[in-house]
Amino acid sequence: MKIVTKKESFTNPLYLESGRILEPYKLVYETYGEMNEARDNAVLITHALSGSHHAAGRYEGDRKAGWWDGLIGDGKAIDTKRFFVICVNVIGSCYGSTGPMSRMYPSQERYRLKFPVITVKDMVKAQRILLDRLGIDRLHAIVGGSMGGMQALRFAIEYPNFAKHTIAMAATHATRPWAIAFNKVVQEAIVKDPKFKNGNYDPDDFKEEGFTGLAVGRMAGHISYLSPESMDRKFGRSYVETDGLFELFGKFQVERYLEYNGYGFSKWFDPLSYLYITKAINIFDVSRGYDTLDEALGRIRSDLHLISFKRDMLFMPEEMKEIEIVMKAQGQGGLVSYYEVDSDYGHDAFLVELDKFSDYVAHVIDR
């Protein structure tokens, strides 16, 4: 599978949903496979909160593959022998696209807290501009999970005839209080950490030991990505063998797991990017800008395929089901399908239990 990583710079202003302007800005993206002569085999992958443009394959010397490597590649569900696959790092992220730690042109000063609040709609608009520059005027499919599913929904609404198929999984049409509450814990942990310094930290400060505020917040967030059943199965009541049961700071395996993931994550993900992206998730609502959810969904013209996961504790199946109900009620039943995956893993099933829905995805994009 051919992997190409590139960065595009844009000097024209990006007019944001907030009314502010981002100018200039950059987008990092990665492609897999080859564009065909008719230029009609492009598939866009949209990533989640902590995801990046590196969706599949391995860079030279890396042990870990891209975050959706089990789904994307030669002979896989999204077959790179047939499709030209592209994944774009969203604005606001910390993997090379313009974000809060980028320099404010023409000065060398970083944006930090001067960076504008961005929305999922802004992320989608920037990607649409990039695709236009690349000469892609129609997509065969858009596929994304979690925040990536939110982007997929926004694409279907804002650019009704742009993609033939839209697959949105583990997402919602509007973020609800349960998910916002988890994000609030992370946000508070970040900004109240003395090392945050009101956003004026040195980005190299956390590479060795991590950033405690983000680590602790990420632990709380990580709980929402799993389910009680998956935690029971993964950890049970196992205790760390080298810790004493009656030591105050002795740990269960689940505690060590959360520490390992939380502090590891905080060594490489930027705290300000986390704040801006969780803000975008919190204020996500596809009906904003329209009178009702019915009106927003009524704009959809491409086939919309909704995939939910039975024990998703973050974006629950009924949130995706509601989209299907509204569309069918207003005569769009021929455009929408709903598939609930029988899984007790939790929200992260869209990243882990690929065998339970990869055939479905392959069937959709093969049509």
312 a catalytic residue: yes
347 a catalytic residue: yes
The per-residue pLDDT for range 20-57, each reduced to its tens digit, is: 999 999 999 999 999 999 999 999 999 999 999 999 99
Mean pLDDT over all residues of the chain? 96
User: Given this model, what pLDDT does residue 27 score?
Assistant: 98
Q: Residue 62: how many CB atoms within 10 A of its CB?
A: 10
User: Given this model, what pLDDT does residue 19 score?
Assistant: 97
Spatial neighbors of 333 by CB under 8 A, at least 6 apart, are 327
What is the architecture, at CATH level 2, of domain 3-175+285-366?
3-Layer(aba) Sandwich (3.40)
222, 312, 343, 348: which is the annotated catalytic residue? 312
Fold for 179-279, please state it: Rna Polymerase Sigma Factor; Chain: A (1.10.1740)
The per-residue pLDDT for range 248-306, each reduced to its tens digit, is: 999 999 999 999 999 999 999 999 999 999 999 999 999 999 999 999 999 999 999 99
The per-residue pLDDT for range 349-359, each reduced to its tens digit, is: 999 999 999 99
User: Given this model, what pLDDT does residue 208 score?
Assistant: 87
The residues pairing with 316 across neighbouring beta strands, listed in sequence order, are none
User: Given this model, what pLDDT does residue 367 score?
Assistant: 78
147-158 vs 120-133: helix axis angle to the nearest 10?
70
Q: Which of 134, 135, 107, 98 is nearest to 21 (CA)?
A: 98
Q: Where are the domains of the chain?
A: 3-175+285-366, 179-279
φ/ψ bin of 21: left (φ > 0), alpha (ψ from -120 to 50), beta (otherwise): beta
H helices within 107-146, ranges in order? 120-133
50, 146, 273, 302: which is the annotated catalytic residue? 146
366 a catalytic residue: no
